[in-house]
Amino acid sequence: SKALGYNNFCLYDNGMKQDYRAQLTLGGALRKAIEEEQFELYYQPKIRLSDELTVGAEALIRWIHPEHGMIPPDKFIPIAEETGLILPLGEWVIKRACHQLKEWREAGHPPISLSVNLSGRQFMQSDLVEMVRATLAETGVDPKYLELELTESMLMADAQQTIEKLHGFRKLGLTLSIDDFGTGYSSLAYLKKFPIQTLKIDRSFVSDLGIDADDDAIVKATIAMANSLNLKVIAEGVESRSQIDVLNDYQCEEVQGYLFAKPMNNIDFSSYLSAQSQN
Ligand code: C2E
Ligand code: CA
Ligand code: CA
Ligand code: CA
């Protein structure tokens, strides 16, 4: 398996769960990284298909390790979850995202929304709604520009408490989105019980659009039902024009993917926004 070479620990694609010592060491490195803020948010544009303009972005965390360089979230979010470090890390993400929205506004960029990913353990945190409220108040950001990306499994865990929490966010004025839609066990009809505004169709259904008839059928039906339930649909992982043609046919509203842009650091993303508003 692929391994990143480390002084005193290794990050493996497979088999890491069994290596308790490696996890302890990585947990220690993560703890230090949080104290020293060795993280950055990268931003990937969300494109509206009707005019192909950027109407939002997704914040994606990167660990910029002083010796080992950039470490992708798949390598450390699971350990952050297991060790509980996801709570301070997730709080950092929300604060950084709100400050970023404030910086974009102050730089005079046309307003766009910014979504952040929540982890399951973070979503269970009892004071999460209050923390988000306080951060919005502190930064003066209009809550309608902050979006939370949740997964189906997070919503299914404890239905009643979940619904209350979602309503708490809605009362603040946030937008709520279901990430990786279609990979969990929920149905659209069931999701209607939750105050959700957006569905993100998982990349695994998008990659073979126009090639795999099953994927075409799934995506078409998902978009049609979502549209009739007044949910916005965004397709993720769009890499080709032929996928865009299919998604336009099915009346998908927004897309995200390498075809338009990869996630960028704040400097590159700011240049990207400036270039777009000059067109
Ligand atoms: P996700 O939320 O499903 O994010 C989409 C992932 O797909 C990102 O990977 C993004 O860079 C990648 N992607 C976007 N467009 C394309 C494309 O056209 N082709 C391909 N092949 N990939 C594309 P990334 O940044 O490595 O993030 C991986 C996962 O890590 C995320 O999946 C999310 O679950 C998690 N994650 C990222 N940032 C955070 C965070 O701040 N908090 C939490 N809790 N999780 C995060
Ligand atoms: Ca996401
Ligand atoms: Ca996703
Ligand atoms: Ca397939």
pLDDT band at 19 (very low <50, low <70, confident <90, very high): low
Spell out the residues 6+ positions from residue 130 whose beta carbon is closer than 8 angstroms to its own: none
Q: How far is CA 45 from the centre of its chain?
A: 11
**Using CA positions, which residue lies closest to atom 11 of ligand 1?**
263
pLDDT score recorded for residue 15: 52
Distance from the alpha carbon of residue 181 to the mean position of ligand 4, in angstroms: 15
Contact 176, 169 (CB under 8 A): yes
Residue 9 has pLDDT above 50, yes or no: no
Residue 243: how many CA atoms within 13 Å on its side-chain side? 25
**Torsion angle in degrees (nearest 10) through CA of 37, 39, 40, 42:** -160
Integer Cα distance of 253 and 169 in angstroms: 24
Integer Cα distance of 117 and 149 in angstroms: 5
**Using CA positions, which residue lies closest to atom 10 of ligand 1?**
263
Percent of the chain with pLDDT over 90: 79
Q: Is the CB of 45 under 6 A from ligand 1?
A: no
Contact 89, 34 (CB under 8 A): yes
Which atom, in ligand 1's list, is nearest to the CA of 202?
3
Averaged pLDDT score across all residues of the chain:
90
Candidates 37, 117, 247: which one to mutate for ligand 1, based on the most atoms within 8 Å of Cβ? Answer: 117
Residue 96 has pLDDT above 60, yes or no: yes
ipTM over cut 0.85: yes
Residue 65 has pLDDT above 80, yes or no: yes
C-alpha closest to that of 75 among 7, 152, 17, 114: 17
**Torsion angle in degrees (nearest 10) through CA of 222, 224, 230, 235:** 50
pLDDT score recorded for residue 21: 61
Q: Label residue 47 exposed, middle or buried (CB < 10 Å: 0-12, 13-18, 19+).
A: buried
pLDDT score recorded for residue 6: 41
pLDDT score recorded for residue 18: 53
**Bridge partner residues of 149 (DSSP):** 117, 177
Could you read off the pLDDT of 186-200 as tens digits, one per residue?
Answer: 777 777 889 999 999
Amino acid at 55: V
Q: Is the CB of 179 under 6 A from ligand 1?
A: yes
Could you read off the pLDDT of 137-166 as tens digits, one per residue?
Answer: 999 999 999 999 999 888 887 778 899 999
Which atom, in ligand 1's list, is nearest to the CA of 180?
3
